[in-house]
Amino acid sequence: MGCAICNERKEKRFCPAVHGRICPQCCGEQREVTLDCPSDCPYLLQSRQQSREHGTGHSHGERQDRGIPFTDIEIPAVEIPEQFLYEREELILGLSFALAKSARADRALMDRDLIAAVSSLAKSYETLVNSSLIYETPTANVAHHMITREIETMVREFRAAEEQHIGHTRLRDSEILKALVFLLRLGLGRTSGRPKSRAFIDFLLAQFPEKQSALTGVEDAGSRIVIP
């Protein structure tokens, strides 16, 4: 029998995205491009593992050369000392939990949605830190707006928790910027860069099992999130 996609080459593997059998070439070319690959597809998992092992297809520059949608992502030139990752681990975990919560609430979200929202918010904080001006990048994308609101809610809750425990908040806007830039770099490093990629989302969801509270999630996730 022929491939369910090209109808030319011989089918050799079952594709859960099309509920039929396809050829390896169509699988490789259309995976996360035209196909909504489920996260447990063995061929998707295999390709992610191979990418991690060989370090291929994960740099921002490579994605730009291939014309994959991240060419408008500008990463603020912020230095993130390793010590910051340990001192503000709970902040990074909290923001990561907010991203995971957004992805779980809207199953239609892709990596590029989270990355675009984090990029936009990082630009806003960069402006705030450098000029003390509060500037929010306008967006007509409802999904991106929802992700941004979830992150901002987590920041408010984080500051409220500090206020309750030590009587004041120590969290600076510059630290939020660093945490956002770290997550932006993490996202660009985890995603395959393909339009329908959910590799970054799957990574986040694995850190925070469903029906877990933010505080419990942060405690259980430990230091896993700070390892790209």
Predicted local distance difference test score (pLDDT) of residue 62: 41
Predicted local distance difference test score (pLDDT) of residue 184: 93
Predicted local distance difference test score (pLDDT) of residue 211: 65
- Summarised one tens digit per residue, pLDDT across range 68-83 is 456 567 777 788 888 9
Number of neighbouring beta carbons within 10 Å of residue 220: 13
pTM exceeds 0.85, yes or no: no
Query: Chunked in runs of 10, what are the mean pLDDT values of the chain (228 residues)?
Result: 92 94 95 93 91 59 45 74 90 95 93 93 90 65 90 92 82 92 92 92 90 52 45
Predicted local distance difference test score (pLDDT) of residue 141: 80
Separation between Cα atoms, residue 190 and residue 200, nearest integer Å:
5
CA angle 16–111–121, rounded 5-degree value: 160
Q: Distance between the two ends of the chain, CA-based, in angstroms?
A: 42
The one-letter code for the residue type at 100 is: A
Q: Output b/e per residue, 88-106; b: 16+ Cβ within 10 A.
A: bbebbbbbbbbbbbbbeee
